[in-house]
Structure 1
């Protein structure tokens, strides 16, 4: 039986979803913190995600500490996450997350990574297993359903 597919993304009113490409290693390296490209990337990304990180659900799920805002944004974020049976992402997001997420990745469901890179599934504590799909987005969606 095919599951419902819904698209969840943060996007600015002018269509901005992610900063210009900066190598993931640069974003998380000590040297990268002084790179103007990385600083611009972090500023843009932080502005785009500014609504999410104060939310109690995000703080809990990403292990950012106690507390956080409650209200409609928090309720929507929690409900969206809880109704997800699987996630699909690209390799670039996975690469960034592999470096940044806590050991217990924040999905708690199967995640299908669309990539040309061959790799065995990667199981994390808390119910997240990353599956690497090499034959396109349609194949990833079929597996996620």
Structure 2
């Protein structure tokens, strides 16, 4: 059975994007790019972009395995809208990506193996379709964000693991990981903590 794994970078003050995030001004919010610099410097990430070199530490191992084991992904429409221009014709996913949206679009095949499918039935439906797609390959599902989609997946009981990459920056505002109060009955267990190149990787298993 595929594991459904949420994975996101977060600032020390709890934000996954900086202030004033918009697709036409600051896609990651003001200062939000600092949350992802550690990822862009990994050799496993650079290799996906056809570039050489990069950090080969534990973070590269974590994300390299994550990429290899991912057979389908789930993202929100905001993340799609913000990233569409930057990703270009060959997005970095290389799997089918189910986009949770109220504004459907036709399926969109891209170069490099990425295929966007737009799902209007909510996060649980999107995750269910992703599980079917990933399961056919014997792989996992990656719920990549933004924070609203991850929170909704956690609240819906469809997550198996929550991985936070905690970056030691303070954004002072923006989009929090959990914008709305979560059910205190949801229980998680920290299973792994790793420090690499200025980011702390914290793995949490969702207890069901």
Q: TM-score under structure 2 normalisation?
A: 0.58
Which residue, out of 115, 128, 137, partners 1:142? 128
Q: How many residues align?
A: 131
Counterpart position of 1:91: 77
Which residue is 2:15 aligned to? 16
Post-superposition offset of 1:45: 1.4
Greater CA deviation, 129-138 or 46-55? Answer: 46-55
Mapped to 2, the partners of 1:139 and 1:73 lie a distance apart of 31
- Aligned partner of residue 128 in structure 2, secondary structure: helix
Corresponding residue to 2:107 among 121, 131, 143: 121
- 1:67 Cα deviation from its structure 2 partner: 1.4
CA contact (8 A) 1:62 1:101 kept: no
Where in structure 2 are there 5+ consecutive unaligned residues?
132-208
Higher relative contact order (CA 8 A, sep 6+): 2
Structure 1 Cα separation of the partners of residues 6 and 104 of structure 2:
25
SS in structure 2 opposite 1:23? coil
Ranges of 4+ aligned residues in structure 1 off by more than 4 Å: none
Equivalent-residue separation in structure 2 for 1:22 and 1:98 (angstroms): 15
User: How far apart in 2 are the matches of 1:14 and 1:57?
Assistant: 28
CA contact (8 A) 2:20 2:26 kept: no
SS state of the match for residue 66, structure 1?
Answer: coil
Equivalent position of 1:5 in the other structure: 4
More helix per residue: 1 or 2? 1
CA contact (8 A) 2:22 2:82 kept: no
RMSD between aligned residues: 1.8
In the alignment, which residue of structure 2 is the partner of 1:57? 44
> Where is the strand percentage greater, Structure 1 or Structure 2?
2
